[in-house]
Structure 1
Amino acid sequence: MEGVSWKSPILEGAYDVCGWLAFIFWSGCLYPQLFLNFRRKSVVGLNFNYALMNNTKHTVYFIYNACFYFSPQVQSQYRSKYGLRQMIPVAANDVALSFHSVVLTLLTLFQIAIYDRGNQAVSKFTIIMLVGVWLGVVVCYFVALPSHSWLWFLSVLTSIQVCMTSIKYIPQALMNCLRRSTEGFSIGYVLLDFSGGTLNYAQMIMQSIDQNSWVNLYGNIGKVLLSLVSMSFDVVFMCQHYLLYPSKKESHSSKLDQEIAEPLVTDGDISAVTIPHKSPTTHAVKTV
């Protein structure tokens, strides 16, 4: 951020604190699902379309943040468009967060590959859509390459992120409705994700107040929309978990998990088996 400084040390400190707290919450939100899958040795209840799209979204977001934070050319193009005194709207915690999220979503996909999946599978629509997304990224990169239109390229990545975020939660929300249960989908993820989004908005507002400018909001509209969409679906998931389907979460584990956990023959089954009693044969004693 050469040539740009904070006017208020207090706001700068609060900005950093909120940024790293958001990093902790958003990074931590992926762990409950990993631990839940590990404990159950099952991924039944976690929608695979959601998991795959989530990884794609975080990968695109990492590319976006890394380019913004490390590329002087991108930063120069941003300031040329929005003003030479504008601060770059991507901080170090954004880069760390997105990289960390890519690693954890890859671990989730690995769990899907090795743990019990029941009859779940990735839909053909999701596969076709993701192939189209990555082909689009490659094509846009080569379109931007001759003229070095990297800010335009990042705007394309922003559009992809917002679209992926808007779509990725729908399969999980529909699955919860059809099963009338949120079992298998960690509510810890939802609560931490919502907290991270709240801190993210607080961070951007602090920067806007300090600079007396709202450019960092509409100049980084992708980040704003990402948080807004994610938090909206978080509210949906919280309503499903705590209001619509609370009993099934509290009552017992899923039928499939019970079948996996139960032995083929239980003590009750053994006791229920009646063994025919064979009375001893009496032999008459022949007297002489």
Structure 2
Amino acid sequence: MALSFLEFLSAVFGWVYFILWSLSFYPQSMLSYSRKTTSGTTVDFPFINCLGFTAYAISNAALYYSPLIRAQYAARYKGLTPTVQFNDITFALNGIVMSIVTTSQYFFPRVWGFTPSKGNKPSRFILGIFFGCIVGVIAVIFIVLGSPERDSAQGSLHAWVWLDVIYSISYVKLIVTIIKYSPQVLANYRNKSTQGWSIIQILLDFGGGILSIAQQGIDSYLQGDWSGITGNPVKFALGNVSMIYDSIFIYQHYVLYRGSDGKADENDSLLSGDEDAERQERRID
């Protein structure tokens, strides 16, 4: 009876966090649309999210649907199955679509009827992460292609197999999650304001993070083995890292910059570090 209740609770937590996280993609694009501008925010966040959620969708789909990947996972983790749920896949697909929509508001402001603003180009830092992740995954693919046991389930215990490619793809999402919020935290700091940055998306994201971790904990308890977390570290880290950044944004919005409307020309402080450096060089010249 207790197990049945925990299974039910896990399913409820899974769908509720899926709904909260899925809804969190909409407030920012809606706010920008209502303001007819993306000022106050940077393109770095939605742009790198496109890569992150594509990686997340691929890795989750492989762990959920692929017989080979699931067999290699079971061999490596004592016969257990991945803790990926169907809602993880649908969440990732929704994330891809909305990240593309939000990014388009920066790249094509006139199509949306927006007033063009500065900060619509990804910074060198974000571009470096973007292409570095792609190169890293390609490198792992070549390593696995050179492994004679890449298609073996038992080979996952001591050799490079296709499961390792899926892990490398999933770590792209982890890397993206760790760094994607930092440009916006910096933009808020420079503006001394959170104007233009939707706090509603942050609150939804925070609630989803709590329930995501709770669901994974329940699933691991039901399996009687915490490798449900160690075997899927990206999902666990996704909730934790997001909540840390969410806490920073909540502090900025409700405490640090409460009631602040930003500087007279807010766009000036939306420049990336690279653009700031170039401007300083022009002044020196």
TM-score (normalizing by structure 2): 0.82
Question: In the alignment, residue 106 of structure 2 is paired with which amino acid?
Answer: I
State the match for 1:142 in structure 2. Answer: 142
Which structure 1 segments of 5+ residues have no match?
A: 1-5, 258-288
Aligned counterpart in structure 2 of residue 176 of structure 1, from 183, 188, 201 = 188
Give how far 1:96 is off: 0.5
State the match for 1:14 in structure 2. Answer: 9
Identity of aligned residues (%): 33
Partner Cα distance (2:222, 2:131) in 1 = 42
Cα deviation digits, residues 224-251 of structure 1 (max 9, x gap): 11211111000000000000001115xx
**What are the equivalent positions in structure 2 for 1:216-227 lying under 5 Å apart?**
216-227=228-239
Which structure 2 segments of 5+ residues have no match?
A: 110-114, 152-160, 268-285
Partner Cα distance (1:157, 1:73) in 2 = 16
Partner Cα distance (1:152, 1:109) in 2 = 30
Preserved CA contact (<8 Å) 2:73 2:81:
no
Give how far 1:66 is off: 0.9
Aligned counterpart in structure 2 of residue 235 of structure 1, from 234, 247, 259 = 247
Preserved CA contact (<8 Å) 2:40 2:196:
yes
Task: Name segments (4+ residues, structure 1) moved above 4 Å.
Answer: 252-257
State the match for 1:114 in structure 2. Answer: 108
State the match for 1:78 in structure 2. Answer: 73
Cα deviation digits, residues 83-132 of structure 1 (max 9, x gap): 12x23210100000001100100000111122234121322332233122
Partner Cα distance (1:69, 1:202) in 2 = 20
State the match for 1:203 in structure 2. Answer: 215
State the match for 2:256 in structure 1. Answer: 244
Question: In the alignment, residue 118 of structure 2 is paired with which amino acid?
Answer: N
Specify whether residues 46 and 117 from structure 1 end up closer, same or farther in structure 2 by C-alpha distance, changes over 3 A only: farther
Question: In the alignment, residue 48 of structure 1 is paired with which amino acid?
Answer: V
TM-score (normalizing by structure 1): 0.81
CA RMSD of aligned residues (A): 2.0
Give how far 1:136 is off: 2.3
* Number of residue pairs the alignment of both structures matches: 249
Of 31-40 and 51-60, deviating more is 51-60
Indicate the SS of the match to 2:181: helix
State the match for 2:282 in structure 1. Answer: none
Preserved CA contact (<8 Å) 2:39 2:196:
yes
Question: In the alignment, residue 142 of structure 1 is paired with which amino acid?
Answer: F
Specify whether residues 254 and 209 from structure 1 end up closer, same or farther in structure 2 by C-alpha distance, changes over 3 A only: farther
Question: In the alignment, residue 119 of structure 1 is paired with which amino acid?
Answer: K
